Amino acid sequence: MASLNVGNLGEYLREQRRTAQLSLRQLADAAGVSNPYLSQIERGLRKPSAEVLQQVAKALRISAETLYVRAGILDAERDRDEVETRAVILADPTLTEAQKLALLQIYESFRKENGIGSDGRGQGGVDGVDARAQESDADPQQPAG
């Protein structure tokens, strides 16, 4: 827990809450967490789970991935492109929540298909294309595309 920058997460959450003009109690209610627990997160005394961060992000209408990076759940450097892509999808005001979820699921399935799991690591290869995908290019059974 010492290696995680939980204090930075707390400061960021407090800043986002104040920007949204929400009291600690209002945010706790909207996120479905207790007021004391949220206070401890903001003060850097507790490390919330990914689920709690997702609830808080939804209540603040911000990217959960941004909170994951700040909490140390995602590696900022390795996962920056993925986080930015997900953030853009989540921030699009023209899409419904169901459409955003569908897009994120499709995005993740393509990443897995290309050998990049949800942990952001590929199976080797160049520019995110793994060796299996390169081998399948020579397979006549595979559709062109």
Rounded to an integer, the average pLDDT of 7-16 is 88
Least confident of 2-6, 18-22, 113-117, 123-127: 123-127
- Measured CA to CA, the distance from residue 88 to residue 105 in angstroms comes to 14
Query: What pLDDT score does 39 carry?
Result: 95
Residue 1 has pLDDT above 80, yes or no: no
pTM value is 0.52
Q: pLDDT tens for residues 72-89?
A: 887 765 666 777 788 888
Residue with tokens 């595979």: 142
**pLDDT, tens digit, 9 for 90 and up, residues 100-138:** 999 999 998 998 888 875 544 443 333 333 333 333 344
Structural contact between residues 133 and 124, judged by C-beta atoms closer than 8 angstroms: no
Report the pLDDT averaged over residues 63-70: 85
The 3-state secondary structure of the chain, one letter per residue: CCCCCHHHHHHHHHHHHHHCCCCHHHHHHHHCCCHHHHHHHHCCCCCCCHHHHHHHHHHHCCCHHHHHHHHCCCCCCCCHHHHHHHHHHHHCCCCCHHHHHHHHHHHHHHHHHCCCCCCCCCCCCECCECHHHHHHCCCCCCCCC
For residue 64, pLDDT beyond 50:
yes
